Structure 1
């Protein structure tokens, strides 16, 4: 029972940080679109503030996901978590501020949002399985 409680607690923590990461990426995406069409140094700077916030939340989520997987796999033989925990995006386009770099960074933001969305769904599904067990 204690392991189940710890696993669910770790899942909740991971979900909080993954959702905050997703929200920060969503904000960065909006600023990225502004940067592409009306841009400048200020919009690039704000976009990268949002990306740094996303990275901080992502790093917090990484630890919680690892704790969750440790507890969950020992309880239910769960091995099917396909969460890509690579880092997010660096700040190249503040210094190389042009439309091509902005579009590239925007594509990386979109890719990161898809990964976070998949991760959130997977953690929610595994947490639900644990709660029913």
Structure 2
């Protein structure tokens, strides 16, 4: 799996608030264009985000489901975007001090045409995408996304 880690100037709790609000997903996940529905149980095991990926008018409707969760600490997802395929994604959040944490995303293709791309070519593309994903997630956490006002 390709893994990217970044220090955040935000508490782990504030990062988790963004992750736990499925409606915010396209604000920080590179490639997610819109959310069509979020299961009430999100982010519990089995819950789904019903999203679209791509750029209008070339959008693909699919879903991402929760495979495992440790509330406030980690979220394992199965992200679907057929016909491109499916990817396993693991997001971890660790406290690093007052109003600081470390966030990692590990990802790799598990099914479909994306799996056929050699890992040596696949990983650098995933790394670039997930570096930007983490940058966006930090901005949203610092800015207060996901918090009740």
**TM-score (normalizing by structure 1):** 0.30
- Answer 1 or 2: which has greater strand percent: 2
**TM-score (normalizing by structure 2):** 0.27
Q: Which has the larger radius of gyration?
A: 1
- Answer 1 or 2: which has greater helix percent: 1
